[in-house]
Every structure is written in structure tokens, then in C-alpha cells.
Amino acid sequence: MTHVAVIEFLIHLLIFFLGAGIGSFLNVVVYRLPLGISVNNPKRSFCPSCKKQIPWYQNLPLFSWVLLRGKCASCASKIPFRYFFVELLTACVFYAVFLKFRGSWDTRLEWGDVVLLYWIFTALLIAGTFIDIDHFILPHEITFGGLAVGLLGGFLVPEAVLENSLSDGDRTRGFLAALTGACIGGSLLWCVVQLGKLAFGRIKKSFEKPTPWSVTQPNDQEPPLFEIAEDKLTWHDLFFRPTDRLMLTCTALTVNERTFGPAKLEIREDKLKVQPDTGESVGFAFEKVTKLEGQATFVLIPREAMGYGDIFLLAMIGSFLGWQAVLFTIFAASVLGTLFAVIPRIFGKTEWSNKIPFGPYLAGGAMIWLFYGRQFADWYLGRLGGGFDF
């Protein structure tokens, strides 16, 4: 092996393990960010079970999980395989980005600007995917932060969003392309959310016998919880917009120390109104309600077809990849969602009532576009007799 070949091999090895190291950090982000824990305080990773900080020699990406056999060295608690998987996935993705985009438009770029921007982009997608799987949320730190980086990247590295863009004068075009992608991405999915709300925005349930229900709040850090029959829904699950209403037809109702007979109850995010079958309606500010329970024969539960985090995620994707990628990502995410979420429900493998995080499918669609989107679109539209000329 020649001297040049050795250097080339070491560079490839370095890129792979750089990705693994970033994956280790993404595991920290996925665990801490939804819980409101700083990603750099404490600086060292710690075991979620015994809380003991992990020394560096037991926190080597990929190797430590294998050597420790997936267990904490201090308390022997099981370390989920997903920690290893995220490190391996990030390593593979970083290496794939390096292979595909180093010098893809101009030899002067080598493997610098475009690759670095796409590394940031894919890291954000990976972190957002696993947070959405765990918590059904996409934090603003991921979506809004990524959107800002995407817009800045469109200006500083127009090659990432505009093919064959090599002159300094193309920076304005690059920024406008990133902004256009963000606006189209956010707008399209916002329309989908609104239409989904009209079509699937309410769940109606009737009960043959009066069924107990309650609203409780374990502590100030957690949102209130609504429970009726088998359903347990947090305030975040119920109220996405000011117009959302939780409606109940009650045979009995207690608000604080006040008891009502048969009545209709309307609950909003911050207040509620009781309409007894006889008498005038009574309103309460939710922050002053300490006890809320009763029995109901009917409930109307608001719900969202899709969360607003998905809108911001697609806007972020558009800012990095442009508006063409937005169209492809929606199509690909719909196909992936059908294959991995809808079909199992059709065959009874999963309950229809279970939540479906759409963020991972959007991230998957964006990844496909990043590596193969244009080739696929050229092939598909070519079969229709056209080309993919944007």
C-alpha cells in the first residue's frame, strides 16, 4: 500500500469515527433535550439508572457498548441497543455524505463546505427522529435552530442548494432558494394540517353507562392529564390551538368543592364552562381548579392529524435542500408512513389509536432525496415522457 493510499485510508477511517463520535453526542441530545437537561452540564454522560458519570474510557463510540456487553459498568443496568445503533447510523451517514459530496461540484470544494453543511443537516434529522419516536415532539432547538442554519448555509454555501453554483454572486440566489424551500415546505404541510384537522380533528365516544373521568396534574412540571375509560391524554395531546374544545355530557360533575347534576362541560386549555341541564352556565379559570372529575355518557375529544413540529421540520428540510426536495420529501414520507405505520394497523399488528410520529418519515424522505432523489425523479418523470428540469 502506497503512502498516498495509507493517508486516504486513514482519512476515510477518521470520517467514519468522527460520525460515530457525533452519534454519541446525539444520544445525549435525544435523552436530555426533551427533559430540559442541559446537553453540556453535566459535561460527561451519566447512567440513567444509577446517575453515575461515565469515564471517557467507558464512553468510546461503538467500542464501549460492545466491550461492556450493553450494560453499565457501575450498576449493570442494561444500556439499550439504540445507543449503539445511533452511533453506527450517524457514522454510516456521515461517511456516505463524505463519499457522495466531496468535490461533487468543484474540485476546489474538496470535502469542506457542502459536506460540513450536510453533516449538520443529517445530524439534526437523526436527533429529531429519535426524539419524535420517544416523545412525539420535535423541539424548536432542532427545527428552528436547523432552519436558521439552513438559511445561513444557503447564503454561505449556495452549492448545497443550487447545483453548479460557483460564483460569489450566487450567494443571494442561494439564500433565496433556501428561503423559498423553507416557505413552501412550511406552507404545504400547514395546509395538510388544516385539512387533516377538518377531516379527522375530533373523536366522538358514547358510553352505555356513565363512565368515570377525571383531570389531574401530578406536579407543576407535568401537564394536566385527562382520563376516561382506557384513554389517557395530556393537555399537549388535546389542545394544539385556541379553538380546540374538550366536550363532555355528564350525569354528575365536581369542580373544586362544587357538585353539579346532569350538565354539559366544555373544557378549553385555560378555562372551562359548565352548562347544567337546569340553570345558568358557570365559568372557571383552569388555574384555579384543584379538583375536576365526574361521570360522562359522551365525550368529544379534539385531536390533530399532525403536529406543528412536523411543519417546522419540513421548513428546515426545505431551507437545506430547496423546494424540489420538499415535494419529494412529502411524497416519500407518505409512502414510508403507509408501509411502516398504516399497513401494520390494517393487519391488526398495531392499534389504530396509537400515535404515529411523522417526523421520522419526513427525515427518511429527506435522506432519500439527499442521496438519490434527483436520480429517482429523473427516472420516474422520464417514464412519463418528461425530464426533471427545475
Q: What is the pLDDT of residues 132-151, one digit of tens each?
A: 998 888 999 999 999 999 99
Q: What is the mean pLDDT of residues 124-132?
A: 95
More confident site: 294 or 8: 294
Residue 365 has pLDDT above 90, yes or no: yes
- pLDDT score recorded for residue 348: 57
Residue 87 Ramachandran class (φ > 0 left, ψ -120 to 50 alpha, else beta): alpha
318: its cell numbers: 426545505
Q: What is the mean pLDDT of residues 310-324?
A: 93
Residue 117 has pLDDT above 90, yes or no: yes
- pLDDT score recorded for residue 104: 46
- pLDDT score recorded for residue 234: 82
In which residue are the cell numbers 420529501 written? Answer: 329
Q: What is the mean pLDDT of residues 262-266?
A: 94
Residue 83 has pLDDT above 90, yes or no: yes
Q: What is the mean pLDDT of residues 255-261?
A: 91
- pLDDT score recorded for residue 339: 83
Highest mean pLDDT among 95-109, 339-353, 368-382: 368-382
Percent of the chain beyond pLDDT 90? Answer: 45
- pLDDT score recorded for residue 308: 77
The answer to which of 198-207, 260-269, 338-347 has the lowest mean pLDDT is: 338-347
Q: What is the mean pLDDT of residues 162-180?
A: 78
Residue 288 has pLDDT above 60, yes or no: yes
15 close to 101: Cβ distance less than 8 angstroms: no
What does the mean pLDDT of the chain come to?
85
pLDDT tens figures, 324-338 = 899 999 989 988 888
Distances (CA, A) of 71 to 26, 30, 43, 66, 90: 19, 19, 21, 9, 21
Query: What confidence category does residue 287 fall into, taking pLDDT thresholds of 50, 70 and 90?
Result: confident
pLDDT tens figures, 38-79 = 888 877 888 878 888 888 888 889 998 988 888 888 888 888
More confident site: 166 or 254: 254
Residue 369 has pLDDT above 90, yes or no: yes
- pLDDT score recorded for residue 204: 85
Q: What is the mean pLDDT of residues 185-210?
A: 80
Distances (CA, A) of 99 to 64, 92, 96, 305, 372: 27, 10, 5, 38, 13
- pLDDT score recorded for residue 363: 96
144 close to 125: Cβ distance less than 8 angstroms: no
